[in-house]
């Protein structure tokens, strides 16, 4: 199965929500715009963006494009990094959207997010991804709060043959991160991926802990971590936005990974993440297997969502 087919399969549920409301390529001519707006809200794009998409799609439709083309263009307008950048610039923001996910300056990626969103699984997927490009990887088991968490990452480490730096259960996650950052430098490993705890995200404690983890990584390796990636579970829908705001405030998120798009009808969450938060989406997860992680590509995403052919992507 090609990656595009996997993406399509992964977005099936969101597509079903749209199809229930009559939004499909097979049904391109008759479209009730209110139904479209409703379907988009159902897919969790948020009321504001849903209305923007409909307005834009109607304009395109009136210019004589097919319904599918109109919708595609309107969705892309919300998701394409260049277009988002333009919009943000207009309101005074700048956004560094890195398209090349293989070559980036950072040596350490700190992965954050609430429990159960898929951090540890995503870390394993990232290791697989970067290794396929020839990079050497190391893990830091920074979720020391849960007994099983370290074991889970170690297990992935064994399976993928990635050295994993651990500490005793309940130990200071910052100490684990510090050791790991030093070990990465000493051993000349290309990339250290740091797992973190995700409990108590509404409480002060976790955020203070994460700030400390970030700080000590910088002590062991100046300027790192250059990347702090937030994992959001698509199933949580609009809640993910609130999580993103909190984590961003605490540790300065540089990128987002949206997981479980396969298990969710809320694929629309990518729109407000991309647009309202201005945070670049780095990867999307569309399944539990190590290769069910893909660099984010707005055109491919929209095409898979609408079940359009890949060549136009």
Residues that bind ligand GDP (CB under 6 A): 113, 115-121, 198, 259-260, 262-263, 285-288, 292
Strand ranges inside 73-196, DSSP E: 108-112, 137-142, 164-165, 191-196
Instruction: Calculate the CA dihedral of residues 297, 258, 213, 154 and round it to 10 degrees.
Output: -100
Which tokens is 98 given?
């890195």
**Nearer to ligand GDP by C-beta: 46 or 285?**
285
Q: Shortest Cβ distance from residue 291 to ligand GDP (Å)?
A: 11
**Which region, judged by CB under 5 A, interacts with Mg ion, from 65-73, 145-153, 160-168, 273-281?**
145-153
**Nearer to Mg ion by C-beta: 198 or 255?**
198
- Residue in 37, 66, 93, 28 with CA at minimum distance from that of residue 268: 37
Taking CB within 5 to 8 Å according to partner kind, which of Mg ion, ligand GDP, none is near residue 287?
ligand GDP
Helix, strand, coil percentages, rounded to 5, for the chain: 55, 10, 35
Strand ranges inside 113-267, DSSP E: 137-142, 164-165, 191-196, 227-233, 255-259
Taking CB within 5 to 8 Å according to partner kind, which of ligand GDP, Mg ion, none is near residue 52?
none
Q: Shortest Cβ distance from residue 27 to Mg ion (Å)?
A: 42
What is the secondary structure of 30-48 as a DSSP string? ---HHHHHHHHHHTT--HH
120 binds Mg ion (CB under 5 A): yes
Q: Shortest Cβ distance from residue 175 to ligand GDP (Å)?
A: 20
Q: How far apart are CA 269 and CA 261, in angstroms?
A: 10
Q: Shortest Cβ distance from residue 140 to ligand GDP (Å)?
A: 13
Q: How far apart are CA 17 and CA 41, in angstroms?
A: 10
Q: Is 268 exposed, middle or buried (0-12, 13-18, 19+ CB in 10 A)?
A: buried
Q: Shortest Cβ distance from residue 262 to ligand GDP (Å)?
A: 5
**Nearer to ligand GDP by C-beta: 70 or 196?**
196
Which tokens is 27 given?
């049904």
Taking CB within 5 to 8 Å according to partner kind, which of ligand GDP, Mg ion, none is near residue 260?
ligand GDP
**Nearer to Mg ion by C-beta: 36 or 192?**
192
144 binds Mg ion (CB under 5 A): no
**Nearer to Mg ion by C-beta: 10 or 113?**
113
Taking CB within 5 to 8 Å according to partner kind, which of ligand GDP, Mg ion, none is near residue 106?
none
């Amino acid at each position: 199965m090609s990656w595009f087919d996997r993406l399509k399969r992964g977005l099936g549920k969101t597509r079903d929500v749209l199809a229930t409301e009559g939004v499909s390529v097979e049904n391109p001519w008759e479209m009730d715009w209110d139904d479209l707006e409703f379907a988009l809200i159902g897919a969790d794009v948020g009321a504001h963006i849903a209305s923007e998409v409909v307005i834009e799609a109607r304009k395109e439709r009136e210019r004589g494009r097919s319904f599918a083309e109109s919708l595609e263009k309107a969705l892309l307008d919300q998701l394409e990094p260049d277009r988002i950048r333009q919009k943000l610039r207009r309101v005074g923001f700048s956004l560094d959207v890195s398209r090349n996910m293989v070559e980036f300056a950072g040596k350490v990626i700190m992965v954050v997010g609430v429990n159960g969103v898929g951090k540890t699984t995503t870390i394993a997927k990232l290791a697989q991804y970067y290794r396929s490009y020839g990079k050497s990887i190391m893990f830091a088991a920074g979720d020391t709060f849960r007994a099983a968490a370290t074991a889970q990452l170690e297990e992935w480490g064994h399976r993928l043959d990635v050295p994993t730096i651990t500490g005793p259960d309940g130990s200071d996650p910052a100490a684990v991160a510090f050791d790991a950052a030093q070990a990465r430098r000493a051993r000349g490993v290309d990339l250290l991926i740091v797992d973190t705890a995700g409990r108590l995200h509404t409480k002060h404690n976790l955020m203070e802990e994460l700030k400390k983890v970030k700080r000590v990584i910088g002590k062991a390796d100046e300027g790192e971590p250059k990347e702090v990636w937030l994992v959001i579970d698509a199933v949580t829908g609009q809640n993910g936005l609130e999580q993103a705001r909190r984590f961003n405030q605490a540790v300065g998120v540089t990128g987002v990974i949206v997981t479980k798009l396969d298990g969710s009808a809320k694929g629309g969450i990518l729109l407000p993440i991309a647009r309202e938060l201005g945070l670049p989406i780095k990867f999307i997860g569309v399944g539990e297997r190590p290769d069910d992680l893909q660099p984010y590509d707005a055109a491919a995403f929209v095409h898979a969502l609408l079940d359009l052919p890949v060549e136009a992507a």
